[in-house]
């Protein structure tokens, strides 16, 4: 069975959940954690049900499931993508000028976005609600090389502050979005543009050992046969007060959303196959520990 056929079969099995307006993703307690290698075959996932979530902007159905241990929580993500985009702005050799220039390649991305408020909000970048959100931003080139997701803080408000991007809400209000990186070194670093020929394409980024809160979210994705398989893992609690903190024994539900392709706040560019710049989020979801 091909990966695409397997995805369609899994989607068929979870189709009854599509009728639910606000879906709850159960996280199931397991003794042994999954290996974060982008594989669907890890037995640690067997006890967790799959839920289908619609990303209306990307036009795809995303399958999600979650497990947790005494100290960590894990997510498996599956979605169809006809092409693997695993380079981001690489250096491309121009034989005419005998020099490298920035390529048009843009990496695939996937976002899990957590509400940090003590009440429910609309987590879209075009929301009328003010909110803070913990964003786990997996990037097929930059963060995937090292096996992490970028850990960021998003703040949406009506206040025009430094380094914010103006957006317009769905009701026509001016909104301002801040996207702040967590403390520490990110899991990638930029490679300087080569001055001499070293191949037709040179990756612009290389893996880096992240530090501080940048090292909180592990993530590994593998593209195969028209599907992305991505696994995330993070400690239930971190030492960063700007992170979402999970307390499984309290019975609390955690509001979040997912997005397949987004660069937040920029207009839609139809020339990009992965629809960068949309900034929307999926239907609201709740994580519940069981």
Q: Which pLDDT value is given to residue 260?
A: 87
Strands (E), 34-121: 51-55, 60-68, 72-80, 91-94, 99-102, 109-115
* CA 241 remoteness from chain centre: 21
Q: How many CB atoms lie within 10 A of CB 70?
A: 9
Q: Which residues contact 247 (CB under 8 A, 6 or more apart)?
A: 236, 237
Q: Rounded to whole angstroms, how far apart are CA atoms 280 and 265?
A: 9
Q: Which helix (H) or strand (E) holds 137?
A: strand 131-139
| Helix boundaries (H) for the chain | 3-14
Q: Rounded to whole angstroms, how far apart are CA atoms 233 and 76?
A: 9
Domain locations in the chain?
3-14+23-225+237-289
Tell me which residue of 166, 161, 99 sits closest to 126, measured CA to CA: 166
Question: Is the separation of the CB atoms in 256 and 62 below 8 Å?
Answer: no
In DSSP notation, 160-216 reads: --TT-EEEE-TTS-EEEEEEEEPSS--SEEEPPPPSS---SEE-SEEE----GGGGS
> What is the signed CA dihedral for 244, 248, 250, 252, rounded to 10 degrees?
60
Rg of the chain (C-alpha set): 19
Per the listing, tokens 């947790």 go with 68
> What is the signed CA dihedral for 209, 211, 215, 220, rounded to 10 degrees?
-10
Task: Flag whether the pTM goes above 0.85.
Answer: yes
Q: How many CB atoms lie within 10 A of CB 60?
A: 15
Q: Which pLDDT value is given to residue 277?
A: 60
Q: Which pLDDT value is given to residue 47?
A: 95
Question: What's the average pLDDT block by block, 10 residues per block, for the chain (290 residues)?
Answer: 58 46 92 93 95 86 97 97 91 96 92 97 95 97 97 96 92 95 95 95 97 96 95 97 95 95 59 66 94
Q: Which residues contact 268 (CB under 8 A, 6 or more apart)?
A: 275, 277, 278
Q: Which pLDDT value is given to residue 22?
A: 80
């Amino acid at each position: 069975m091909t990966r695409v056929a397997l995805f369609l079969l899994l989607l068929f099995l979870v189709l009854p959940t599509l009728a639910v307006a606000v879906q709850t993703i159960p996280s199931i307690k397991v003794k042994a954690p999954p290996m974060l290698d982008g594989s669907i075959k890890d037995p640690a996932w067997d006890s967790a049900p799959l839920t289908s979530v619609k990303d209306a902007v990307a036009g795809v159905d995303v399958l999600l499931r979650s497990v947790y241990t005494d100290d960590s929580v894990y997510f498996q993500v599956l979605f169809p993508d006809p092409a693997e985009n695993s380079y981001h702005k690489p250096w491309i050799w121009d034989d005419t000028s005998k020099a490298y220039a920035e390529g048009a390649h843009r990496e695939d991305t996937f976002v899990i976005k957590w509400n940090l408020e003590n009440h429910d909000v609309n987590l879209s970048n075009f929301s009328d609600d003010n909110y803070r959100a913990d964003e786990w931003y997996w990037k097929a080139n930059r963060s995937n090389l090292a096996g992490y997701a970028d850990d960021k803080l998003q703040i949406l408000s009506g206040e025009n502050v430094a380094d914010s991007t103006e957006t317009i809400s769905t009701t026509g209000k001016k909104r301002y979005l801040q996207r702040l990186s967590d403390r520490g070194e990110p899991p990638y670093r930029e490679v300087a543009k080569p001055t001499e020929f070293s191949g037709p394409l040179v990756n612009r980024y290389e893996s880096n050992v992240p530090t501080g809160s940048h090292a909180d979210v592990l993530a590994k994705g593998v593209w195969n046969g028209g599907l992305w398989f991505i696994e995330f893992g993070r400690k239930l609690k971190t030492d960063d007060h700007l992170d979402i903190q999970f307390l499984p024994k309290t019975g609390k539900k955690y509001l979040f959303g997912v997005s397949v392709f987004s660069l937040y706040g920029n207009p839609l560019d139809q020339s990009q196959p992965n629809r960068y710049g949309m900034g929307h989020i999926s239907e609201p979801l709740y994580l519940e520990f069981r």
